Amino acid sequence: MKQLFIASIILIAFGSCTKDFQATNQNPNQISDEMLKQDFNLVGSPFSGMLYELHGNQGSQTQEDLCYDSWMGYMNTPTDFVGNVNNTTYYIRWNSYWGRQYGNIMSPSKQVIQLAKDNGLPLFATWAKLIRVLSMSRLTAIHGPIIYSNYGSTASTILYDKESDLYNTFFAQLDTIQSEFGANKTYAGFAKFDPSYKGNISAWMKVVNSLRLRLAIRLSKVAPALAKTQGEKAMADPAGLIATNADNFNISLLGNIMPVGMICFQWDDTRMGGPIESFMVGLKDNRIAKFFSPVTDPALYADHPSSPYKGIRNGAYIGAKIQRVPFSKVSTDFNTVQTRRHFTASEVYFLKAEAALRGWTGAGDAKTNYETGVKLSFDDWGAGGADAYLADATSKPINYVDPIDSRNNFTTPSTITVAWNEADSRELKLEKILTQKYLATFTNTLEAWVDHRRTGYPKIPTVAKNDSGPDWGVIPAGEFIKRMPFVNAERTGNTAGVTDAVSKMGAGAKDDIATRLWWDTGVATNF
Amino acid sequence: MKSLLLVFCSVLCMVTATFAQTRQVSGKVTGPDNKAVAAATVKIKGSTTATSTSTDGSFSIKVPAGNVVLEISSLGFATKEVSVGAAQSSVSVSLATQSSDLSDVVVTALGVKREKKALTYASQQVSGDELRKGANFNFMDALSGKAAGIDIKISSSGAGGSTKAVLRGAKSLIGTSEALYVIDGVPMVNNKGGQPGSYGGTDGGDGLSSINPADIESVNVLRGANASILYGSQGANGVIVITTKKGKAGKTTVDFNHSTIIDQVSGIPDLQFSYGAINGSDYNWSKTKSNYYQNNYVKEFFQTGVNVTNSVSVSGGNDKTTAFFSYANMSVKGVMPTNTYTKHNITLNQSTKLFNDKLTVSSNVIFAYEESKNRPGAGYYNNPLTGLYLFARERDFNSYKTNYQVFNPDRNIYKMNWYSTEEKQNNPYWEINNNSKLQTSSRVIANVKLSYDIAKHVKFETRANIDYNDVLRDNRYAAGGNSVSVSPNGTWSYTKYNDQALYADGIFTYNNTFGSYSVSALAGASYQKNTFNNGMSVGNGTVALMYPNFFTFANMPYNVIFNQTINRTIKQGAFANVQLGYKDMFYVDLSARNDWASTLALTGNQSYLYPAVGLSGIVSQMVKLPEVISYMKVRASYSQTGNEVPFNVVNPWNSINGSGGPTGIGGIARNTQVPFTNLKPEIIEGNEYGLEMKLFKNKIGVDFTYYKDISTNQFLSLAAPSGSGFTSYYVNAGRIENKGFELTVDAQVINGNSFKWKTAVNVSQNKNLIAELIASNPNYQVGGDDEGFASVIRAGGSFNDLWIYKFARNTAGQIILNATSGVPTKAATQEKVGNVNPDFLLGFNNSFTYNNWYATVLVQGKFGGVAFSKTEAFLDSYGVSQRTADARDKGMMPINAIQGTTAVTSIDPAIYYSAVGDRNKIMEPYLFSRTNVRLGQLVLGYNLKSKNPNSIIKDANFSLVGRNLFFFYKDAPFDPEQSMSTGNGMQSNDVFGLPSTRSFGVNVKFTF
């Protein structure tokens, strides 16, 4: 038994020697909260990453390029992904923005809000809440109901917010955010963590007002009174709106390549869209050279030899990838840009132009707003000739020709011109505003998809190849995709929540791509 | 090298010469059949002087003057004492066979030797000689088919590639479920590098290839947790116990071994070369047949592989000190052009007895250096085989071969010349010539062992071991390559790290007998600190380097992150084992081990205890059995083993996410995992029952085991619900059952004077059931769709069930064609179509001897399961497979389909094959039976023994060796045992992996 005795001693010796276990089990290449407290990095350090994630940049190809960039005709892919049956042709293969927003914005911001409270830095919580509204107001524009007020619940079923409730929540939170910012205009604590405005609170206050105006315009048809109240509030707020290109809300790419540049130049998976070719070539828009690269083979643009650009139809019939790789790439500038646009003064002026048409107080003159929007966009992109462009009352979008496959050809549905005509109907004026807004929001195209569903403008062709089906919902000929379905993880993991969310979209709603969102009233007229 | 050898010889000679003797006795030891008994120990009784017999049974020993008694012993024979008179100078000894394997001693856990009859669990020993017969470059490859119950897959990447060896089925969802490897009692590091997936990659190798097969004395396979409980959690998946060669007292022996093995590609897909593409398409869907297209370039691409191995070993010693030294080198030219592999091994061990032989000090040092260049990968990206196979037939391959790069005057740089811009296609010659992949590993395993006889029955042993491996992986992809995977200025992927394992243990053993009772007991403790992947990795991906084709840290753009990597664990164990025996016929074995694991820190569960109990009875000793049964033993055991969780999952910290912009700092990615402070170890319960028999005077041996293992508390990772505030969490849940049997039958079929035939059959079956994962979420699964191939672990199924898309069919079984286009449609959801693991393993090993000639024939079979070829799926959709040409030759192909309401009986092959295959389309046609039966090894040899005791060469051996020569049966278009990945997920799947090879060559051995 002697040996057992000695063994027991060894055992006890080892048994008591486990105190370094915890340190051993930490990864020394990860940074602790304790370490982050130095220089007050703890609360502020997640912000640049959260801002970057507003566009879901890392998932840009599947959630942006192959979704609304394609559906709205800005870009389209030369690649026959999944046998040319994919999101671009209305058969859903990828649905990833949801996961990125909850995983990379909502979840870390929850911690940030708590840390801000624990560390006596309440304005960081305010800032985090603004980023949440920015993020979730994008997400609801894609899916409709989303998890917002119940976020962070430990219940097994987490209920979604009905869209009408959600917008009220957004507006109420923007009120609080604005008053908290307003009381701390000189606060300098954000500077280090804010690649967009270097911690300038006043600049963020302009974002708050501009965001309120954007959301108000979304609701201008479905809830005109609420929209008007909120829109007027945004325009009347003394902090002002994003009004010059210097005010623009641009987001740092944190050293990454602009996604559209990566997808285009490195993967050869995206090219200019056919509809934007139709508008920009037809309207003689000088921004085309800032957005896109010319092609070298004149046979590709034989239909308009003076303008060496060729795009790919939205929802196109795609054969071998090699066929359309020579089409127009985006501008090579996208290989080197350090920031991307998230909210520009130009968009604000187009919002104000629409507000003016709707008679909202403080909106000013529709024509002035419209023309300022166009000029700001030309300036922002470094394009010249805005005055001549604005004076052009004759040029119209052109018909599109696909030099590879004529099934992709289309006759332009839009006959809009650029020059403002005070005698036009409000409907035509709105089309003009939203066509220019569409062109100005290149690379930040979600709101253009919202405008198109909400108003039908700009007039773009339907997909050439419609693969929608019972799996994800049928889009009848002549119609457009209405929304993205809820994600599979939620369908399986929060089934009751999803069922409830579908019921919140109204009678007859389905969790498919054919169900309209709340503000997509289906009413053809806009006034 | 030669001088080193001489030094060693002289050292050993001096050791031998320092002993004082008076006279020489020589003799010969034979068995009952008058055949020489080699390696028998000849010892002077009452002394420690001993020698061993050479292969012809002869020995020579120096004995003191006067009468002496020699003790002659050898495994399998009864020990015999022979008196030698004072004047006698030679003696002949005839040994009788031991009546059973009662005295067989096997090496069990912790290097403890136990009599096989006393074991309460299954074990199977394979000798090093047997493993070396086929001249395999990896000893685990050589083990395949030679032991029951072990499922071995070898990476298809060739020499230096990794191995997957699973005993009794997969037990753990997160781990690899692979066996633990133990060298001379000490766990060995087997930290596997990354494995290829659908998109690409190269086998990162593992720790097994650095072992020199020539150093292995024997390998003992401990299949169940019951056998390995003393290793604690790491032995939960069974243990491969490697015993290395040691010096033997007596004569100095020098062995030289050479083998040259030729590898030939045997599994090139069946390709067509008569239909090209139209209009410059990537797809070969022309219907016009041509007889003029180039058709040899695929075959010509591959080269004949050559593996040359030389090894030399020197061993010897006296009764105080023994030593063993070996050096081996291997030089391999792979079947893929530009692929090479070289390896150098040096092993040195010694053992010295001190303090009146009470203390034995032994040490063992193993050095290994491996260098592999351009090891073939698999998958879509940067793989020469995609472009090679999919090449548009009407084009001129030879011009792309000759001009694989063209000068780009715009950049003053070469760029790849290839017609397709597809992300997965490269010019194969650009790929092999301009993209270099280097992998090196420099490894030392060193240990010291002290063994002290404290008292008559009590011994204390302590060991310390360090296993250190320095690994480099340096892949360089030239500027101007495929823009999807390579940056405009080239791509560099650099990984450098070391793996370090420190191990120490102390064990007391006690052995005694009290009348009819015997006691064998041990108690000890061990300490293990593993620091793996300690180093860094950096890769610029598609972010451009600053200057083209220059691969150094300074050339990295600011926005590339340098990752530091580490994975470290400390494990402490205390263990005890008692075995009680009664009259050599009945044994009870009790074990317990307590582990303390650092990976469970903060959980309160870091200390966990588990027990094992076993019984065995020698029935043939208890009762009188029929004459035919010479020996019969039954055994049963139960064990429980804990399995710790991975490093750093309990409560990880935050990481720095991104480099920041030129003007801003990179953000912090906060840890959004739910803290898991109630994490528990996984528990594996093992039950096994065995029967061992010797029949017909030991001519036939039978060893049967039935087992059932149940794994619970699986460590599962789940995506947290979107609204929960977190992104992921872990739970302990699930229940996995593995049950099956293992049967080994060996027989001396013919045992004539000159002709003998010995045969051994190893069969086993494992049934795996995922009884439960997460009870509240029956749809929970591990693994998901990987580009049309889903290898899924899901409750109610088995480990790695294969789910794929089949055709959409109506109730009558007709394929539903699209109503307007007539294209076959795909089912809405994936369907389970089988399991990628085999059900039943067979090894049938035969050895024949006729005088000095011998032959071994190994037939290996794996039965059941499904295999899946995405390679074929691509070949079909690109119209390059022979099957698409055959279909086009006939015009239309038959189909049982329906379009709208019209039955369709034939379809255009172009429409059909364009609808199936590729990445994510209908994968049903690419499902094959996994079953294959092969002639795994064929050896034909001749032993030449020197009759002259003074000749320099004592004996020699020449053999012709063949491996994987042909298949008796194979359904899959690739070899499921030469796998593209040795990870969990991509088993029995092929995505442009290197085609299988057959090998043959010569093996020569000389003993001096």
- Residues pairing with A372 in the sheet: none
Distance from CA of B907 to the nearest CA of A (A): 19
Cα angle A519-A521-A525, degrees, rounded to a multiple of 5: 120
Q: How far apart are CA B209 and CA B212, in angstroms?
A: 8
* pLDDT recorded at residue B949: 67
DSSP A345-381: HHHHHHHHHHHHHTT-TT---HHHHHHHHHHHHHHHH
| Nearest beta carbon to residue B508 from set A6, A22, A32 | A6
Instruction: Tell me which H or E stretch contains B525.
Output: strand B517-539
| pLDDT above 80 (res B228) | no
Query: Max CA-CA distance within chain B?
Result: 106
Put simply, the answer to whether A254 touches B661 (Cβ < 8 Å) is yes
Residues of chain A in contact with residue B563, where contact means CB-CB under 8 angstroms, are 29
| B829 and chain A in contact, CB less than 8 A | no
Instruction: Tell me which H or E stretch contains B529.
Output: strand B517-539
Residues of chain B in contact with residue A147, where contact means CB-CB under 8 angstroms, are 722-723
Cβ contact B739:A169 at 8 Å:
no
Return the residue matching tokens 């703890």: A42
pLDDT tens digits, one per residue of B149-182: 888 888 888 888 888 888 888 888 777 788 899 9
Which residues of B108-226 form beta strands (DSSP E)? Answer: 113-115, 123-127, 150-155, 163-167, 180-183, 186-187, 216-222
Closest by CA to A513, choosing from A68, A164, A64, A61, is A68
Distance from CA of B625 to the nearest CA of A (A): 39
Put simply, the answer to whether A27 touches B458 (Cβ < 8 Å) is no
Return the residue matching tokens 């990864």: A27
* pLDDT recorded at residue B12: 39
Rounded to an integer, the average pLDDT of B124-128 is 89
* pLDDT recorded at residue B26: 86
Closest by CA to B746, choosing from B221, B147, B143, B30, is B147
pLDDT band of residue A114 (cuts 50, 70, 90) is very high
| pLDDT above 90 (res B297) | yes
| Nearest beta carbon to residue A46 from set B558, B668, B724 | B668
Q: How far apart are CA A472 and CA B6, in angstroms?
A: 78
pLDDT band of residue B10 (cuts 50, 70, 90) is very low
Q: How far apart are CA B28 and CA B58, in angstroms?
A: 4
pLDDT tens digits, one per residue of A404-448: 999 999 999 999 999 999 999 999 999 999 999 999 999 999 999
Give chain A's domains with CATH numbers: 41-265+269-503 (1.25.40.390)
Q: How far apart are CA B199 and CA B185, in angstroms?
A: 40
Q: How far apart are CA B808 and CA B787, in angstroms?
A: 19
Rounded to an integer, the average pLDDT of B733-753 is 92
| A152 and chain B in contact, CB less than 8 A | yes
* Chain B from 707 to 726: CB within 8 A of any A CB: 719, 721-726
- A177: its two tokens: 């955010």
| A164 and chain B in contact, CB less than 8 A | no
| All residues at 6 or more sequence positions from B342 whose CB lies less than 8 Å from its CB, including other chains | B329, B330, B331, B332, B370, B371
Put simply, the answer to whether A192 touches B665 (Cβ < 8 Å) is yes
Rounded to an integer, the average pLDDT of B415-434 is 92
Q: Which letter, b or e, does each residue of A124-145 get, where b requires 16 or more Cβ atoms within 10 Å of its Cβ?
A: bbbbbbbbbbbbbbbbbbbbbb
Closest by CA to B745, choosing from B812, B697, B699, is B699
| B331 and chain A in contact, CB less than 8 A | no
Q: How many interface pairs between A and B have CB atoms less than 8 angstroms apart?
A: 250
pLDDT tens digits, one per residue of B476-526: 999 999 888 899 999 999 999 999 999 999 999 999 999 899 999 999 999
pLDDT band of residue B8 (cuts 50, 70, 90) is very low
| B21 and chain A in contact, CB less than 8 A | no
| pLDDT above 90 (res B931) | yes
Closest by CA to B161, choosing from B343, B424, B381, B428, is B343
pLDDT tens digits, one per residue of A45-65: 999 999 999 987 778 899 999
* Chain B from 591 to 630: CB within 8 A of any A CB: 594, 596-602, 606-607
* pLDDT recorded at residue B857: 95
Dihedral, CA of residue A48, residue A53, residue A55 and residue A57, to nearest 10: 100
pLDDT band of residue A81 (cuts 50, 70, 90) is confident
| A157 and chain B in contact, CB less than 8 A | no
pLDDT band of residue B98 (cuts 50, 70, 90) is low
| Nearest beta carbon to residue A31 from set B282, B653, B719 | B653
Q: How far apart are CA B419 and CA B433, in angstroms?
A: 18
pLDDT tens digits, one per residue of B748-774: 999 888 899 999 999 999 999 999 888
Return the residue matching tokens 């000068």: B407
DSSP conformation class of B66: S
| B521 and chain A in contact, CB less than 8 A | yes
Distances in Å between the Cα of A50 and the Cα atoms of A256, A447, B269, B637, B666 are 14, 20, 49, 56, 11
ipTM exceeds 0.90: no
CB atoms within 10 A of CB A78: 23
| pLDDT above 60 (res B603) | yes
Residues of chain B in contact with residue A102, where contact means CB-CB under 8 angstroms, are 722-723, 727
Rounded to an integer, the average pLDDT of B673-691 is 88
Distance from CA of B98 to the nearest CA of A (A): 35
pLDDT band of residue B225 (cuts 50, 70, 90) is confident
pLDDT band of residue B792 (cuts 50, 70, 90) is confident
Nearest CA in chain B to A487: B722
pLDDT band of residue B19 (cuts 50, 70, 90) is very low
pLDDT tens digits, one per residue of A363-374: 999 999 999 999
| A41 and chain B in contact, CB less than 8 A | yes
Tell me the CB-side half-sphere exposure of residue B60, using CA atoms within 13 A.
7
Q: How far apart are CA A174 and CA A186, in angstroms?
A: 19
| pLDDT above 90 (res A218) | yes
**Percent of chain A, pLDDT > 90?**
83
Distance between the two ends of chain B, CA-based, in angstroms? 17
- B333: its two tokens: 């030219």
Q: Confirm whether B2-98 and B105-276+296-382+435-656+682-772+839-865+930-1007 share one CATH topology.
A: no
Residues of chain B in contact with residue A296, where contact means CB-CB under 8 angstroms, are none
Q: Which letter, b or e, does each residue of B633-656 get, where b requires 16 or more Cβ atoms within 10 Å of its Cβ?
A: bebbbbbbbbbbbebbbbbbbbbb
Put simply, the answer to whether A14 touches B574 (Cβ < 8 Å) is yes
Q: What ranges do the domains of chain B cover?
A: 2-98, 105-276+296-382+435-656+682-772+839-865+930-1007, 383-434
Nearest CA in chain A to B914: A83
pLDDT averaged over every residue in chain B: 88
pLDDT band of residue A6 (cuts 50, 70, 90) is low
| All residues at 6 or more sequence positions from B12 whose CB lies less than 8 Å from its CB, including other chains | B247, B252, B314, B315, B316, B317, B323
Which CATH number among 3.40.50.300, 2.40.128.20, 2.60.40.1260, 2.60.40.1120 corresponds to the domain B2-98?
A: 2.60.40.1120
pLDDT tens digits, one per residue of B984-1000: 878 888 999 999 999 99
pLDDT tens digits, one per residue of B556-582: 988 888 889 999 999 999 999 999 999
| A485 and chain B in contact, CB less than 8 A | no
| A82 and chain B in contact, CB less than 8 A | yes
CB atoms within 10 A of CB B532: 20
| All residues at 6 or more sequence positions from B864 whose CB lies less than 8 Å from its CB, including other chains | B835, B838, B839, B840, B930, B931
pLDDT band of residue B20 (cuts 50, 70, 90) is very low
Distance from CA of A470 to the nearest CA of B (A): 10
Distance from CA of B576 to the nearest CA of A (A): 8
Put simply, the answer to whether B598 touches A21 (Cβ < 8 Å) is yes
State residue A120 phi and psi, 5-degree precision.
65, 35
The angle, 0 to 180 degrees and rounded to 10, between the axes of the packed helices A201-218 and A345-357 is 40
DSSP conformation class of A329: P
Closest by CA to B874, choosing from B993, B772, B715, is B993
Rounded to an integer, the average pLDDT of A500-522 is 95
Put simply, the answer to whether A319 touches B659 (Cβ < 8 Å) is no
Tell me the CB-side half-sphere exposure of residue A159, using CA atoms within 13 A.
9
Distances in Å between the Cα of B165 and the Cα atoms of B168, B462, B982 are 10, 30, 9
**Which residue has better confidence, B407 or B248?**
B407
* pLDDT recorded at residue A319: 83
Nearest CA in chain A to B563: A29
Strands B359-373 and B436-453: antiparallel
pLDDT band of residue B103 (cuts 50, 70, 90) is low
Cβ contact B106:B113 at 8 Å:
yes
Fold of B105-276+296-382+435-656+682-772+839-865+930-1007: Maltoporin; Chain A (2.40.170)
Secondary structure percentages of chain A, helix, strand, coil, to 5: 50, 5, 45
The angle, 0 to 180 degrees and rounded to 10, between the axes of the packed helices A224-236 and A163-182 is 10
* pLDDT recorded at residue B818: 87
* pLDDT recorded at residue A274: 97
| A255 and chain B in contact, CB less than 8 A | yes
| A196 and chain B in contact, CB less than 8 A | no
Which residues of B168-304 form beta strands (DSSP E)? Answer: 180-183, 186-187, 216-222, 239-244, 250-265
Nearest CA in chain A to B458: A3
Q: Before B213, cis peptide (omega within 30)?
A: no
Grouping H, G, I as helix, E, B as strand and the rest as coil, residue B316 is strand
Instruction: Tell me which H or E stretch contains B746.
Output: strand B728-751
Return the residue matching tokens 């790419």: A253
* Chain A from 427 to 466: CB within 8 A of any B CB: none
pLDDT tens digits, one per residue of B855-914: 999 999 999 999 999 999 999 999 999 999 999 999 999 999 999 999 999 999 999 998
Q: How far apart are CA B903 and CA A106, in angstroms?
A: 53
* Chain A from 365 to 394: CB within 8 A of any B CB: none
Residues of chain B in contact with residue A299, where contact means CB-CB under 8 angstroms, are none
CB atoms within 10 A of CB B32: 11
Q: How far apart are CA B202 and CA B382, in angstroms?
A: 10
Put simply, the answer to whether B523 touches A36 (Cβ < 8 Å) is no
